[in-house]
Structure 1
Amino acid sequence: MPIIALNGPEAMRIRKANDLATWGSRTKENRVEPVAKPAFDTPFQLQPGEKIFTIGSCFARHVEGELVNRGFEIPMRDLFRKGAFEGLAPEIVNNFGTPSIYNEFAWAFGEQAFDEDKAIVEVGKDRFVDLHMVNSIRPGPFDEVLARRKGLLSATRSLADCRVLIMTLGLAEVWWDEEAQTYLNTAPLPTVLNAAADRFSLHVLDFAECHDYLKRALDIAFAHGRDDLRVILTVSPVPMMATHRRTDVITANSYSKSVLRTVAEHIVQADDRISYFPSYETVTLSDRRLAWMDDLVHVSKEMVGLNVDRMVDAFTGNPHPVERQLPATASLSNENAAALFLADQARSARALDDEAFFEEHRDEARKSPAFALEYAKFLFAKKDLEAALDILDNAQGVEAELLRASLLRATGAYDEAAAVAANVCRTNPKGQEQWRLRLDIAAARKDLEDIAVIEKEWLQAAPARRGIILSFVGSAFRRAGNDHEALDRLRDSGIDPADAEGFVAVEWAWALLSLQEYGEARGVIEKFVPRSDWQVNQVKQIRKKLAAAEAA
């Protein structure tokens, strides 16, 4: 049945009276380009400095940061000043699916019992994980993991003291725990999954399931919260990092966000205590160059700020809203459609090694930075380094800078390459490529001191990715000739060699082999299933060296 029904005359009256009923056009100033600014209702007002409860996906953490800067009290941020949470990143309290949001409310307010025997599992000697917290948290002693859970439940109960709840919905692809008969927050660690293969399964939720869990979560909030509780509901624009389904992540993410956006509309239309804020529309409809960081997953800091500024200004009735300054559109690529389509053709020509295509269009490299970037990549593959650097002079942006750094490194200009890569890390800390390139350059120079500096800076920039960062740092130390430092980093990463996959498994095996830990190295490599030509080749080399060492 429809969620709204209007008779014909009423619908026509609203259409004619609504200045926002159409999109506008490029011939005059509009609210779509370059930054989308959809209008929204503000049926209540935020009070300066009041306590606001926040829950949801990683976008909620961005919102929290901006609210703290505006002077609001955020209980979920106060949590990180206490005991078991000290020194951890705020992202560890993310809740991605509506079932996970429901679970946290149900456990906190006693609607359901938290079963620690099923939820907290052992992954190694005196090493445990909470299946309902994000899987990037390093395993720890049982008492520490339990203390963290109790702290989170206590913080969640602070919702009862808040007049405003801000909730962001993340995704619809979630994991089911058959033994506990409940949904998890993120995928179980490989150790846990391998130890109980039949216990966990991936579920792609439908509308009814997402709606039911969100409705029940809000029912708990209203039942245990203040009588005047109001909710700001939004859908996170941050896409899923990867999908476990046999489909393109773009398609999987589109389904996930569409379902959640539909759920949000149904929830808002049914309850006037709940308002929708269009952060999803603001980000996804804005110029991608302004909206997204270079990993194409994280929303740019400026766009997050603009989003929260609009929300807070509107809900506080600020007559002089702060206009967040985004990068000037003039500083972005203004190439026409023909040039951008030619650059897209160049990507295909690179894959086909079509030298004739680049010869035919070589003059375009001086006119089109996008084409110049593709041409430089083609020349790099041909090992024509100087020509590639020359062509790249006309290209700008992070991708061009990283390619320039790689070219300089290939020519032996290590200092200049390192400076270019370091600048990218400072201006664009998200992502791996720039950091890995810096580590590769330092390893090639055998510069142990620089590797340690990069390690410190990368950990500060992305503390939630500690495990993978230390794995890459360990690899750099090994290639620089310090096997002991390499193994120390791998052990400190929290990744069990028995569960290591991909690049990490290969690094564990090489480090153990270098330090003559032959039995452990063989144990790692025998359990590892290579999934790329590079991994297959690495495994062959490791097995060959192991056989030679064990025969000696």
Structure 2
Amino acid sequence: MTHPYEDMGPEAYWKTAVAAPGAHGLTGLWSPKFAIKPNHRIVTAGSCFAQHIGNALAERGYLWTDCEPAPPYLLGDEARTFGYGVFSFRTGNIYTPSMLLQWLELADGARDEVREVWQKDGRFFDPLRPAIEPNGFASEDELWAARQSTYAALRRAIETANVFVFTLGLTERWHNRETGLEYALCPGTVAGEFDAEQHVFTNTNTRTTQRSLMRAIRFARSKNPKLKVLLTVSPVPLTATASGAHVLTATQYSKSVLRAVAGMAAEGSKHVDYFPSFEIITHPIFRGMFFAPNMRSVVPEGVTTVMKHFFADQARVFGAPRMGKTRKRIAAVVPKGEEDIKCEEELLNAFAA
């Protein structure tokens, strides 16, 4: 061998790996580090695209785990309206790694509670998840009792899961200058009042984002040393940006940072992996075919293609799974189509001129 390129397989060359097979002939995009089996307890959280992954796993009979199920008087779509069955716990969307870290530490008591509450029309809203109660809570006591229930569900999920799937969505975030509390959405958009002196916008860089993600992973694994973490990056563009940049370039910045950070987190780690759902949806070889006419929402065919690669590559590396009994009770809870996906950031569309 005169140089390394003589001994590489066809997957290493664009001509043989991409151009020749074309968009629908791509194979081997992912070489998973660990098996994800149907009987593994799988919990999901993060950006809205994580809901698609939970749905696909549940429909295949995998043990997607809902650690905070809806009360018996809330069923189906009504339960989802109140934030149940969307993720494995009722946190709503967790868009940033720093927000994930905040939830983990608050649930464990490792971070001091900030008793901030937003109000609107005499109702009370949780600044960490203002959209889970569409009309707000009736009282502050009810809000804090609900938060404690979610803390318990989050602890239970992390401590008992085999696999935690987390989808990174944003680098843009809002927080309180005095308390450091990070919000799910900008104050004043859903509820509360915006204060330019108190409410601070930041757009995290690669270094800051990576630090938050690694701290969150280490924290979760300190509670469950056997926990495997599968990272994905949401392909869904930003609804709006507060960065001052055009929303298209702001989206590219955010996704580039998140993709780089996810790759760095997985590099050299046996218990952290990255699955390329972002690339499958957004790469130019697919010519935008997986986006709806608004060029933001992912159509069902895109989700199907993503999960086809997920299951195919798991089977290629670890063999076909033994499915066992399908768990229909879970598949009835998770979303069925793009119109069912809960994405709190989309609420910002209401402020577009």
Q: Bin the TM-score by the shorter chain.
A: 0.7 to 0.9
How far 1:213 sits from its partner (Å)?
0.6
Q: SS where residue 24 of structure 1 aligns?
A: helix
TM-score in terms of structure 2 length: 0.79
How far 1:44 sits from its partner (Å)?
1.6
The answer to whether 1:63 aligns with 2:53 is yes
Q: Of 10, 35, 55, which aligns to 1:19?
A: 10
Q: Which residue of 2 aligns with 1:296?
A: 295
Q: Which residue of 2 aligns with 1:335?
A: none
Q: Of 235, 238, 261, which aligns to 1:237?
A: 235
Considering only CA atoms, is the larger Rg found in Structure 1 or Structure 2?
Answer: 1
Question: Taking structure 1 as reference, are residues 18 and 84 closer, same or farther at Cα in structure 2, changes over 3 Å only?
Answer: farther
Q: Which residue of 1 aligns with 2:125?
A: 129
The answer to whether 1:212 aligns with 2:202 is no
Q: Of 55, 67, 71, which aligns to 1:82?
A: 71
Question: Taking structure 1 as reference, are residues 208 and 47 closer, same or farther at Cα in structure 2, changes over 3 Å only?
Answer: same
Question: Taking structure 1 as reference, are residues 55 and 26 closer, same or farther at Cα in structure 2, changes over 3 Å only?
Answer: closer
Q: Find the aligned partners of 1:60 and 1:177 in 2 and give their Cα distance.
A: 27
Q: Which residue of 2 aligns with 1:315?
A: 314
How far 1:17 sits from its partner (Å)?
2.2
Q: Which residue of 1 aligns with 2:148?
A: 150
Q: Do the aligned partners of 1:123 and 1:192 also contact (CA within 8 Å) in 2?
A: yes
Larger RCO: Structure 1 or Structure 2 (Cα < 8 Å, ≥ 6 residues apart)? 2
Q: SS where residue 234 of structure 1 aligns?
A: strand
Question: Taking structure 1 as reference, are residues 101 and 23 closer, same or farther at Cα in structure 2, changes over 3 Å only?
Answer: same
Q: Find the aligned partners of 2:236 and 2:272 in 1 and give their Cα distance.
A: 22
Q: Do the aligned partners of 1:206 and 1:259 also contact (CA within 8 Å) in 2?
A: yes
Q: Find the aligned partners of 2:240 and 2:71 in 1 and give their Cα distance.
A: 32
Q: Which residue of 2 aligns with 1:44?
A: 34
Q: SS where residue 232 of structure 1 aligns?
A: strand
Q: SS where residue 214 of structure 1 aligns?
A: helix
Q: Find the aligned partners of 1:35 and 1:113 in 2 and give their Cα distance.
A: 51
Q: SS where residue 216 of structure 2 aligns?
A: helix
Cα deviations by residue, 1:216-244 (Å, 9 ceiling, x for unpaired): 0001111001x322111111111111112
Q: Find the aligned partners of 1:464 and 1:128 in 2 and give their Cα distance.
A: 21
Q: Find the aligned partners of 1:274 and 1:85 in 2 and give their Cα distance.
A: 36
Letter in 2 for 1:130: D
Q: Find the aligned partners of 1:188 and 1:296 in 2 and give their Cα distance.
A: 27
Q: Which residue of 1 aligns with 2:92?
A: 93
Q: Find the aligned partners of 1:195 and 1:187 in 2 and give their Cα distance.
A: 8
Question: Taking structure 1 as reference, are residues 281 and 289 closer, same or farther at Cα in structure 2, changes over 3 Å only?
Answer: closer
Q: Find the aligned partners of 1:37 and 1:237 in 2 and give their Cα distance.
A: 20
Q: Do the aligned partners of 1:42 and 1:275 also contact (CA within 8 Å) in 2?
A: yes
Q: Find the aligned partners of 1:20 and 1:288 in 2 and give their Cα distance.
A: 21
How far 1:269 sits from its partner (Å)?
1.2
Q: Do the aligned partners of 1:135 and 1:186 also contact (CA within 8 Å) in 2?
A: no
Q: Do the aligned partners of 2:168 and 2:258 also contact (CA within 8 Å) in 1?
A: yes
Q: Do the aligned partners of 2:51 and 2:341 also contact (CA within 8 Å) in 1?
A: no
Q: Which residue of 1 aligns with 2:201?
A: 202
Q: Do the aligned partners of 1:57 and 1:236 also contact (CA within 8 Å) in 2?
A: yes
Q: Find the aligned partners of 1:167 and 1:502 in 2 and give their Cα distance.
A: 29
Structure with higher helix content:
1
The answer to whether 1:29 aligns with 2:20 is yes
Q: Do the aligned partners of 2:131 and 2:190 also contact (CA within 8 Å) in 1?
A: no
The correspondence of residues 59-458 of structure 1 with structure 2, limited to 5 A, is 59-75=49-65, 77-82=66-71, 87-89=79-81, 90=86, 93-115=92-114, 117-118=115-116, 120-125=117-122, 127-135=123-131, 137-138=133-134, 139-141=136-138, 142-157=140-155, 158-190=157-189, 194=193, 196-225=195-224, 227-285=225-283, 286-315=285-314, 317-319=318-320
Q: Do the aligned partners of 1:38 and 1:282 also contact (CA within 8 Å) in 2?
A: no
Q: SS where residue 132 of structure 1 aligns?
A: coil
Q: Do the aligned partners of 2:23 and 2:286 also contact (CA within 8 Å) in 1?
A: yes
How far 1:63 sits from its partner (Å)?
0.6
Q: Find the aligned partners of 1:502 and 1:39 in 2 and give their Cα distance.
A: 39
Q: SS where residue 266 of structure 1 aligns?
A: helix
The correspondence of residues 473-492 of structure 1 with structure 2, limited to 5 A, is none
Q: SS where residue 168 of structure 1 aligns?
A: strand
How far 1:271 sits from its partner (Å)?
1.9
How far 1:100 sits from its partner (Å)?
0.7
How far 1:258 sits from its partner (Å)?
0.5
Q: SS where residue 81 of structure 1 aligns?
A: coil
Q: Find the aligned partners of 1:200 and 1:176 in 2 and give their Cα distance.
A: 6
Q: SS where residue 103 of structure 2 aligns?
A: helix
Q: Do the aligned partners of 1:159 and 1:165 also contact (CA within 8 Å) in 2?
A: yes
* Structure 2: gaps (5+ residues): 322-336
Q: SS where residue 311 of structure 1 aligns?
A: helix
Question: Taking structure 1 as reference, are residues 259 and 26 closer, same or farther at Cα in structure 2, changes over 3 Å only?
Answer: closer
Q: Do the aligned partners of 1:122 and 1:129 also contact (CA within 8 Å) in 2?
A: yes
Question: Taking structure 1 as reference, are residues 28 and 309 closer, same or farther at Cα in structure 2, changes over 3 Å only?
Answer: closer
Question: Taking structure 1 as reference, are residues 289 and 254 closer, same or farther at Cα in structure 2, changes over 3 Å only?
Answer: closer
Q: Which residue of 2 aligns with 1:339?
A: none
Q: Do the aligned partners of 1:94 and 1:134 also contact (CA within 8 Å) in 2?
A: no
How far 1:289 sits from its partner (Å)?
4.5
